[in-house]
Structure 1
Amino acid sequence: MWNYVGWGTPGSVLAADLLAGGFRALPGSKVARAERAVASSPVDGRRSTGDVAIAPSAVPLTASSYPLTRDPMFGQTIAIFRNTFFESIRQPIALVLLVVATLGLIFSNLLAGFTMEDDQRMMIDLGLSTVFICGTLLAAFIATNVLNREIENRTALTVISKPVSRPLFVLGKYLGVAAALLLVTLYMSFVFLLVEMHGVRQTVRDPHHMPVLVFGSVVALLGLGASVWCNYFYGKVFASTVITIVTPLIGLAYLLSMMFDAGFDRQPMSLGFDGQMWIALAGITMAIMVLTAIAIAASTRLGQMMTLCVTVGIFLVGMLSDWIFGRPIRAIETVWLQRASARELTEIVEQTQIIHLVTGEIDLRVVEKEVVLPGVELSSMADGMWERLEYAAYWIAYSVVPNFQAFWFSDALTQGHVIPVKLLWGVVGYGLIYITAAMSLAVILFQRREVG
């Protein structure tokens, strides 16, 4: 059997990848011609088909070589996923935005020192916002480049005609983009955690966190040096090489920094580990996965600029969802409650709020709330059909548009509240619902899309 060495268009490379997995091509397709070229090539030679270069492999790359890929559908998904992942991190825009995010996270530490209140709270807000915004932009740019560009260049036809089902093609694309975004989000998270560990210097007398500065600088120089070496001597793509090398190195720097205090004295790693910060970053990561699914769905029909506008627009509307849709809903419900109160159909109940603080203290708050009596529907207080329709329209919009405030835990962090793990699991389930809905919409839109 034969293996391809990667050059050629993304569609042809992916086609050769599927062929190497043991999948047959349709007669007359590029992959079929590549397959015939392989069959006529000498055992010890190398032959180019015009789209891909095919060379003998030391180990036969048959489907049976990998037990998990014996199922053709699973093997096709893995091939599309792998190709999309590497294509995503090779894009120059990914490296550019990561450089911008890195500088933004570093400068957030410096800018937070000019606040008149708690500088550390401002730094956390700025840092998490930087990760969220850069992740949103990366989702839009990468999703457009890996799907819409292949459709416009007609390279997607090479894969879909294998035959690979369109839903499988869209699913593989999403998984590849999601994996790439997980990697770059992990990198931004490590940088943010290092910056947060250093902390904001309230005065010039406050010491620098030397382990963060030393380990962070060393891994940055090592990562960049290794990437330049691989690019110059081995022809590796610089963007993807930097991302794949620096991310684990910056993670190692974070682990080493937790082992020392600001003066380089040993300390238990538990003192440097902040689980609440990881929960907040996990919530942002889940939001980025939702935005990735939305960007994939938009890119099946729209170009790059429109996909970017749709993704950023949904991000902004989702962040303001409580104000745009939730505020009118609460206003209508307040009017209905006042009408019910005038008819003596309400009662006052006491609700206890339990807030756990990071200091270990518990804040108990008892609030009184007016509610309608059991058996009384609040909507029955509506004044006519138009008021009901207005309420229903706001409620539907509030339900359809993802509320990204649910993924945003920065307020709880800065106020010293404990974020329960069960809340994170609820947010993960909430995000999975929207991912499923967005991917279903992407499949429906792509089913009738002309790709030939």
Structure 2
Amino acid sequence: MDPINGSFEESPDGLLHEAKGSPLKATCSMIQLLGVAKNSYLQTLRQPVYGIIVLVTLGGLAMAPTVTGWTLDDDNKMLRDLGLSTLLIQGLFLACFAASSVLNTEIDDKTVLSVAAKPIARSVFLSGKFFGVFGAIATAHYLAGLVLYMVIRHGVLQAAYEKSDLTVIFLGLIPLASMLILGAVLNYLFDWRYLPTVITLFLITGSFSTLVLLAIDRDWKIQAYEVTQIVDPLPPEISDPAMLRGIVEFRPDPGQAHLTGHKGVIVRKLWKGPITEQDLEYLMGLSSSIVWKNDCRFLADKAREMQGSEIFKSAILVLGALGLLTAIALAASTRLGLMSTFLICLAAVGVGLTVDHIIRPIADSGATWARIAANALPNFQMFWMVDALADDRVIPWSYVGAAMGYCAVYSLGLLLLGIALFETREVG
């Protein structure tokens, strides 16, 4: 019997049941998945520990320029590394606490029965929990990323002649700090929950402040987003601007445009990212002049020192690592409590950061167990770009895409493991 385009089938008792694999069943499963994900997302945001971890993270990032101002090397590199580490640690704690709260605690308290007893597959239930928890972690990661941008833009005052970036202070830190007071006022007047309200205000204010800061420089002028290097003069071999291939552009000084061997500057737009080694070799090969080669090298170094786009890519990769941690924490929470889940996640990060340095060389020497371990263990080093940033390397977008693909596949495997563990878990 096929009353509605094959969506139902008749059972031996004469009743109509939804056919397996029907579009209606898939739609219902998707609605259930989104419902569980939304509920888990809001449940995580309302946890007091979530707000505390986020506020501590933001406070730590705001204090980072002071803490990192005592190194014997480049303080701003230390600031960058500390900021990315803070993002990872925040995600680690949130993944453990959130996964334990939305799953293990509900199982122990039998409150999961209110959902699991309904006609919803446990696989759909656990998948919804994953997306909800990861969404909450991504929200915290986004907010911390905004503050990290403000902090890195301000930088560390390494000398007495350096001045604070007033644009960051007046448009970033002060508005965010004022949201703490506004949250308390809203809590008093309307009985709104303080921590979720403050985080929501932070998201709105932080996003707007960041957009404004992206548009202006520290002198309150429109941001140019370019680096320049004086060229005196442009080598005669470069007679056509097309020879530069858009890697850089040449701007002659006033009154020099009509002369051979123009004086001016070569310009690199920062939105194009740092100059790659291949592009740099091409530019240097346009002329045999040592001065031209040095000018190209100086411009490439200036572009790489900015590292804005590379830090952005690094933060995206850290989010991929947090996706893996969420899947690990959720799979562990189907059977274990908070502390056990935390220790497993901590061990996974520790081992995952050493796979390429310890296990991979052993695997290359021919050890079978090392090859299996190197491929089976989560490789968190793939998402950790501190070494690449320290060497001023360019992180290709193709690499970011490959790493996020690895995150998706590995997280899917962990989620399937969690579903298998949850299917046999007694919840009654």
| Structure 2 residue 218 is matched with structure 1 residue 242 | no
Q: Structure 1 length normalisation: TM-score?
A: 0.69
1:401 partner amino acid = L
* Aligned position for 1:283: 317
Distance, in Å, in 2 between the alignment partners of 1:327 and 1:96 is 41
- In the TM superposition, residue 233 of structure 1 has moved relative to its aligned partner by 2.5
1:232 aligns with 2:185: no
Q: Which amino acid aligns with 1:220?
A: L
Cα distance in 1 between the residues matched to 2:217 and 2:424: 59
Aligned equivalents of 2:384 and 2:54: distance in 1? Answer: 21
Counterpart in the other structure of 1:429: 405
Equivalent residues in 2 for 1:211-230, closer than 5 Å: 211-230=167-186
What is the one-letter code of the residue matched to 1:306?
S
CA contact (8 A) 1:290 1:434 kept: yes
Distance in 2 (CA, whole Å) between partners of 1:238 and 1:272 is 40
The answer to whether the 8 Å contact 1:86/1:240 transfers is no
Letter in 2 for 1:432: A
Tell me, in whole angstroms, the C-alpha distance in 2 between the residues paired with 1:290 and 1:405.
12
Is the 8 Å Cα contact of residues 208 and 262 (structure 1) preserved in structure 2? no
Aligned pair partner of 1:135 in 85, 91, 96: 91
For residues 24-79 of structure 1, what are the alpha-carbon distances to aligned partners after superposition, in whole Å with 9 as ceiling and x for unaligned?
xxxxxxxxxxxxxxxxxxxxxxxxxxxxxxxxxxxxxxxxxxxx999322221121
Of residues 392, 416, 422, the one that matches 1:416 is 392
- SS of alignment partner, residue 395 of structure 2: coil
Taking the aligned partners of 2:62 and 2:25, their CA distance within structure 1 comes to: 43
**CA-to-partner distance for each residue in 1:130-175, whole Å, 9 max, x for gaps?**
1111111111111111110110111111111111110010011001
Cα distance in 1 for partners of 2:352, 2:196 equals: 31
Paired with 1:151 and 1:440, the residues of 2 have a C-alpha distance of 19
Verify: 1:307 aligned to 2:341, yes or no: yes
Counterpart selection for 1:89 from 36, 45, 49: 45
User: Which of 134, 159, 169 pairs up with 2:125?
Assistant: 169
Aligned to 1:322: 356
> Are the structure 2 counterparts of residues 269 and 236 from structure 1 closer, same or farther at C-alpha, using a change threshold of 3 Å?
farther
What TM-score do you get using the length of structure 2 for normalisation?
Answer: 0.73
* One-letter amino acid matched to 1:328: I
**How many Å separate the matches in 2 of 1:419 and 1:394?**
28
Does residue 204 in structure 1 map to residue 204 in structure 2? Answer: no
Unaligned runs of 5+ in 1: 1-67, 334-390
Deviation larger for 411-420 or 255-264? 255-264
Alignment CA distance shift 1:264-1:245 (3 Å):
same
CA offsets per residue over residues 164-202 of structure 1, 9 Å max, x none? 110010011001001101100001111111101111112
Letter in 2 for 1:277: I
Within the candidate set 52, 55, 58, 1:102 is matched to: 58
Which blocks of at least 5 consecutive residues in structure 2 are unaligned?
Answer: 1-23, 227-268, 272-307
Percent identity reads 32
Q: 1:269: how far off?
A: 6.1
SS in 1 for 2:68: helix
Structure-2 residue corresponding to 1:261? 217
Look up the equivalent residue of 1:400 and give its one-letter code. A
How many residues align? The count is: 327
